[in-house]
Structure 1
Amino acid sequence: MVKKIIACLDVKDGRVVKGIQFVELRDAGDPVELAAFYSEEGADELVFLDISASVEGRETMVDVVKKTAAHISIPLVVGGGIRTVENMKQLLEAGASKVSINSAAISNPAVITEGAKTFGSNKIIVAIDVKWSEVDQDWLVYTHGGQKKTEWKAVEWAKEVEKLGAGEILLTSMDQDGEKDGYDIAITKHVKNTVSIPVTASGGAGNVEHILAAFTEANADAALAASIFHFKETSIREVKNYVRERGVEVK
């Protein structure tokens, strides 16, 4: 299986931001400029998340999607504030290659199935934000930018979204997010071993070794990173060379 390296742009109020455990956000640049840079650098995909959209109850910024899509030659995944099939249609028409849903998938699971039937499963990604619960001794799913805890356990929800028609899972560990000390290998591996659709590891990449571990230890289909690319700690080219030299096939 050929693995993918994905750059992520968390966008708030038209600017790319990066935080730690979904808070303490700091400015990381202009989304269109960064998207064009990553496209040239060799990213296999770009994920564009309007991180305040669900919280503020508004739709994703279609105009920024249009501008971004016009400047890149790689697939663009867009998420944040997508609640209906009509929202999906707007974004796909604006230039998104796929849409990512999270909060709406929990509150209205039928939207996964409707989206898959209308546009094809390959266009529908379900983002799953998880956090370890000492009480439950398991990973629980959170929505609304990590602000609302649900009753769903991560693995059970992953199985459910596959059944409902999702084509991919974007799995983010909130505990690891922005900490830069590695992905949560345990839950990534657990989810990957449970479903047959592709799983992207997200949350915690701090260096090339962490990305390699997502592939070799968790068997993730793709690794997503933000901070290490935005702040030029490493480059997509360096990551690809590093994992290739260690026997991992990347695009």
Structure 2
Amino acid sequence: MLKPRIIPSLLVQEGGLVKTTRFGEPRYIGDPINAVKIFNEKEADELTVIDIDASTQHKEPDYRLIERLANECRMPLCYGGGIKNLDQANRILGFGVEKIIVSSLLIENPDMISKMAAYLGNQSVVVALDLKKPMFSKKYEFSIYNGKKKTGRFSEELVRTAIELGAGEILINSIDRDGMMEGYDLDLLVNIQSHCTVPMTILGGAGSIDHIREAIAKLGIVGVAAGSLFIYKGVHKAVLINYPNREVKTDLYNNYG
């Protein structure tokens, strides 16, 4: 039976685990390998790891780190950052990573997404849309390179385009909500879901289990990803890796339909 997925999202920078706020102010948290070990023990449904510098600095993916993460990880692993061609994507999947995330390719080389989907399988290709609502606009604009470059393209159109190119999953990330821990942008997500015919994962804004519960109740079977929620504890944001226990997860899984 299909059910929602509750997904820790880890950001890495220069090999270290960091957390951002609205895609800026990266705060060093620790060793990503140690975080993976803890999420293994807590039986996380899936894990997403994104290198926030690889694309912006036009660097190759950090294959050594990816291989270490994949070797340690006992749950499905999704990796993004710096993936520009089929050889890179295939090498990363060869480590045991289940899915790769691409973003700027949607604007700069959309044909490559189709090639990846055809060769690797649609289910292995995730297209991430980092979205921000410009002032006085009703539409959400897509930005690339860790939010640093605006594209002038908007969410509904790009969801359809990504799916037509062969994406097997869409990751929707709210720039405005990133690290704020004030809840997901449900208006945005409900609208996106109405255009999305493949699995969808949401990211940006979760600050409590109730935010996850609310999202699942509203959206149903989606991937519900969070960074701050699973890294910080308390109002002072002490670093403490955490994840819902089995009883809480069961309750969340049943919170739709």
TM-score, normalised to structure 1's length?
0.94
| Pairwise CA distance, 1:247 | 6.2
Partner of 1:29: 30
Partner of 1:65: 66
Q: Is 1:235 paired with 2:242?
A: yes
Distance 2:14 2:233 in 1: 23
Cα-to-partner distance string for 1:45-94 (whole Å, 9 max, x where unaligned): 11110100111000121111111111121111110111111110121112
Q: Is the 8 A contact 1:229 1:235 kept in 2?
A: yes
Q: When the two structures are aligned, how many residues end up with a matched partner? A: 249
Distance 2:181 2:221 in 1: 18
* AA of the residue aligned to 2:217: T
Q: Is 1:94 paired with 2:101?
A: no
Q: Is the 8 A contact 2:63 2:92 kept in 1?
A: yes
Partner of 1:12: 13
Q: Is the 8 A contact 1:202 1:225 kept in 2?
A: yes
| Pairwise CA distance, 1:245 | 2.8
Distance 1:241 1:156 in 2: 39
Q: Is 1:244 paired with 2:244?
A: no
* AA of the residue aligned to 1:176: R
**Structure 1 pair 113–211 and aligned structure 2 pair: CA distance change class (3 A):** same
Distance 1:168 1:18 in 2: 24
| Pairwise CA distance, 1:249 | 6.4
Q: Is the 8 A contact 1:201 1:222 kept in 2?
A: yes
**Structure 1 pair 232–57 and aligned structure 2 pair: CA distance change class (3 A):** same
Cα-to-partner distance string for 1:146-205 (whole Å, 9 max, x where unaligned): 111112111110111011100001100001000000011111111112111011110011
Cα-to-partner distance string for 1:66-123 (whole Å, 9 max, x where unaligned): 1111112111111011111111012111231110001122211111110000010000
Q: Is 1:80 paired with 2:81?
A: yes
Distance 1:61 1:247 in 2: 34
* AA of the residue aligned to 1:8: S
Distance 1:224 1:245 in 2: 17
Distance 1:216 1:169 in 2: 19
Partner of 2:200: 199
Q: Is the 8 A contact 1:116 1:166 kept in 2?
A: yes
Q: What are structure 2's unaligned runs of at least 5 residues?
A: 235-240
Q: What are structure 1's unaligned runs of at least 5 residues?
A: none
Q: Is the 8 A contact 2:12 2:18 kept in 1?
A: yes
Distance 2:29 2:243 in 1: 17
Distance 1:171 1:191 in 2: 8
Partner of 1:163: 164
| Pairwise CA distance, 1:20 | 0.4
Which region of structure 1 is more displaced relative to structure 2, 124-133 or 216-225? 216-225
Q: Is 1:130 paired with 2:131?
A: yes
* AA of the residue aligned to 1:7: P
Distance 1:189 1:220 in 2: 12
| Pairwise CA distance, 1:236 | 2.0
- Tell me the C-alpha RMSD between the 2 structures: 1.7
**Structure 1 pair 224–119 and aligned structure 2 pair: CA distance change class (3 A):** same
**Structure 1 pair 66–208 and aligned structure 2 pair: CA distance change class (3 A):** same
* AA of the residue aligned to 2:251: E
Q: Is the 8 A contact 2:3 2:221 kept in 1?
A: no
